[in-house]
Structure 1
């Protein structure tokens, strides 16, 4: 992917030079600069969902427990772009023509205290933080898809001069610019499957599909009780049912159940938390689960050495499921680092991060390149002077050469997209194999003679029962196996 990015960026730079300084080509030059900036930028991941689906908790979890600074809610109702930077800071972006304003993070309180007219017109906040997690991707925490907001949110919207429709539109706009989209559902919402999916079937985002979108069934911990100690069993069934609904498999890669609070606690668990959890772990496991399951009564027991307010804080941050799980891990010998790691694993935060970085991350540059080439095909400048026309032709030539040079990566992306969107006539087993050899799910491990797979896919490439799209896909897979065989022979 690094080689692809370098090659594509160099081609765009040569194309820009080929445009020369002709004023008639200024719009093309600006568009080309925009595409180059997107190619150079880190992958962007946007979280989209209802206000009550726990997006902020997911943000905190993905960022290792980092809390978005207090005051963001009051300024933008949670629309924030979080980026890596050695020097933390804040930039307020406006959509009413004002230039961006840069501030220190500690100035948020003063910003919130401004007059209402000063706060109107805010588009979003850009928060810079020195977090290792942000070295891999920028994270966009959108507001929500709710058409109507509660009383408090409604008051804030009125104060900012915005409507619920404005906020939904803004959320979709930021999501559409992202390389990957996480669609968050709330496990605890009392909605049927159709209602849960309704928000996402109406998303007006071009190109939304399994290569750039996945769903998260959040708040799995709300299904825990002493009688139902594994809430993931029910959540997995719900996720499978949602994925089987018409049109969902062409909209997102998967729907992954996640225990958001426990995931966030994995990054915030302190030595004090560990000491209190260790004390709680001394209780009999069954008795602890029954007491925790009694709600606020758990905070009132006088025979537990951990103070009631500390028990309340642990439940608030870890959830009942998280507290019981953490105590079981400590009982099995986990120290603080191991506890954090296991909580991340058992909440499925580790799986979510892996999907973002492996599935989306490895494809981000190819997807950006495909988007840039799609933009290229929409350019149709007319009435150019002769010299500008010649320069424009040279620029197109540079980009066409790049498209031919990088045809393998672009063809593989097309095969993956066609497979996910149901356009290939391959069997489920062959479809899964094609995805693995093209780099999905951690790649393929070939046992035995790679030549057998080359011959098998050669047969599919000429199968008379397949259409042209499927036969071409088989040729791409065959070429991938051939490349594996060649690499193996060199080693």
Structure 2
């Protein structure tokens, strides 16, 4: 079966034939072709000190991104899979230089040497990490930096004036929902609306443990905040979801050491009232004269790597019966919100990676054909625009976003069913139908056929408003896709 990715490859090849002697166009087309074959590009964006680098490290499960405010954190940095850790600075347009990776006081940093951040266009990091095999992560400087030049780098990469976005999807970190956050998300929305930006945006309430001042119930407060942000952002239709994540806890848990587990066990043996008194603040907890069965250096390490929230949570879990470090690490990761974020990213981005990459490459191809017209380009351009308009996956993604900000004439259950059918909870046939994956193909086919009929009838109802009718038509087309998939499974 010919996929949208295959059709995009064919269009890039046809465009190359139309530019036999145009070196500039052929170089741009080579980038289009490469983008189709590369891993999905996900950018981490957000305000200054939102916790982007910490979240990146937690997501990868290794300490690969500097978190201190040094020169390198003012530069857009691309993290890709590689056999050995290497960092390369791209600067002054077409120059490059190797960057030294160092650890200072236990923290990773990239030493730019004589280079300054204002000269560096970007850093390319290659690192042997399984999380980077199918995903390239782009860490961006804070969008609310005091330096307009620093903020501009993020904007230029994500929402360039006359070019395709450097990212296929965006994870946007929020500590509050400020005017600058709304403005930036609006810029992404305008880019998407112009068919040239990332099709997917997921919001993250970052440093979620700080929402409740590090209390044991901090994540509950963060979940309430995420729900409020999601409700407000529904008016824009920009975010597919908003998830609270305690990035520091997630990173500490994914890199938990046996010596730290032993320290947590010792703290769990301290009478609860005494430990609570010692943990009134991080400074008090790390004091040399604190009467605790863990030395001050280890206590400072725990506070630095897990925060007070993480320490309280680890102690509570051990008191509840956790007896080994792997189990504790898994429990802490789950309670940090990282697992939920990974699931959301998989549903919204990972399962649609080919569609998102195809969209980005087609938009870039369209710009080449528009800006450098020549003999034979008009027909290719028409095919590109037709594919951008016709690919159903693009329509699903846009509709899922718009459903969050537009009233429909559907009841709550029907709206949930429609979102599920559009792939809002996963793009597999069983996920779209809301049934067990082991359902017999003929039973699934009957359900899909019912869905086709139902949503076609809803779309044709004379009292349905225009937007709801369009949403129902898209859902009917999705049901037809499920039906075709199941018909294929029934073929001998």
Please give the TM-score of this superposition, normalised by the length of structure 1.
0.81
Could you give the per-residue CA deviations for residues 338-364 of structure 1, whole angstroms, max 9, x where no partner exists? 222211110001111222233112223
Within the candidate set 103, 118, 129, 1:131 is matched to 129
Call closer, same or farther: CA 1:5–1:322 in 2, change over 3 Å: farther
Q: Tell me the equivalent position of 1:171.
A: 154
Counterpart-to-counterpart distance in 1, 2:46 and 2:58: 16
RMSD, aligned α-carbons: 3.5
Helix, strand or coil: the match of 2:90? strand
Question: Would the alpha carbon gap of residues 33 and 89 (structure 1) be closer, same or farther in structure 2, given more than 3 Å must change?
Answer: same
- Alpha-carbon offset, residue 234 of structure 1: 1.7
Q: Retained in 2: the 8 A contact 1:89–1:129?
A: yes
Residue in 2 that maps onto 1:159: none
* Residue 206 (str. 1) matches residue 196 (str. 2): no
When residues 171 and 52 of structure 1 are mapped into structure 2, their CA distance, relative to the original with a 3 A threshold, is same
The Cα shift of 1:290 comes to: 4.1
Q: Would you say the 8 A contact 2:234–2:404 is kept in 1?
A: no
Is 2:46–2:173's contact at 8 Å kept on the other side of the alignment? yes
Matching of residues 290-369 of structure 1 within 5 Å? 290-300=277-287, 302-331=290-319, 332-369=321-358
- Which residue in 1 is equivalent to 2:114? 114
2:95 is aligned with 1:99: yes
Matched residue, 1:430:
414
1:20-72, Cα deviation, whole Å (9 max, x unpaired): 62x3x555434332221221221112111222222222122112131425899
Segments of structure 1 that go 5 or more residues without pairing to the other structure are 149-163, 188-192
Secondary structure of the 2:83 match is coil
Name the stretch that deviates more: 415-424 or 470-479: 415-424
Task: Structure 2: state its 5+ residue gaps.
Answer: 160-165, 437-442
Distance 1:480 1:464, change over 3 A: farther
Distance 1:304 1:400, change over 3 A: closer
Tell me the SS of whatever aligns to 2:136.
strand
Q: Is the 8 A contact 2:43 2:169 kept in 1?
A: yes
For 1:146-157, what aligned pairs fall within 5 Å after superposition? Answer: 146-148=144-146
CA distance in 1: counterparts of 2:124 and 2:17, whole angstroms: 34
CA contact (8 A) 2:60 2:129 kept: yes
Match of 1:83 among 80, 85, 93: 80
SS of the residue corresponding to residue 440 of structure 1 reads coil
- Contact persistence 1:80–1:125 (CA under 8 A): yes
- The 5-angstrom pairing of residues 2-17 of structure 1 reads 4=3, 7-8=6-7, 10-16=9-15
**Residues 1:241 and 2:228 are matched in the alignment:** yes
Between 1:282-291 and 1:350-359, the stretch displaced more is 282-291
Q: Give the TM-score, by structure 2 length.
A: 0.81
Greater helix share, 1 or 2? 1
Matched, 1:185 2:181: no
Evaluate the alpha carbon distance shift between residue 17 and residue 398 of structure 1 in structure 2; reply closer, same or farther with a 3 A threshold.
farther
Mean Cα deviation higher: 450-459 or 415-424: 415-424
Find the counterpart in structure 2 of residue 154 from structure 1. none
Q: Does 1:392 align with 2:392?
A: no
In the alignment of these two chains, the number of paired residues is 458
**1:422-465 Cα shifts (integer Å, max 9, x gaps):** 38654443332223223322323237750433332232132222
Instruction: State the match for 2:453 in structure 1.
Output: 455
Inter-partner Cα distance in structure 2 for 1:70 and 1:224: 23
Match of 2:143 in 1: 145
Displacement of 1:396 in angstroms is 5.0
SS in 2 for 1:234: helix
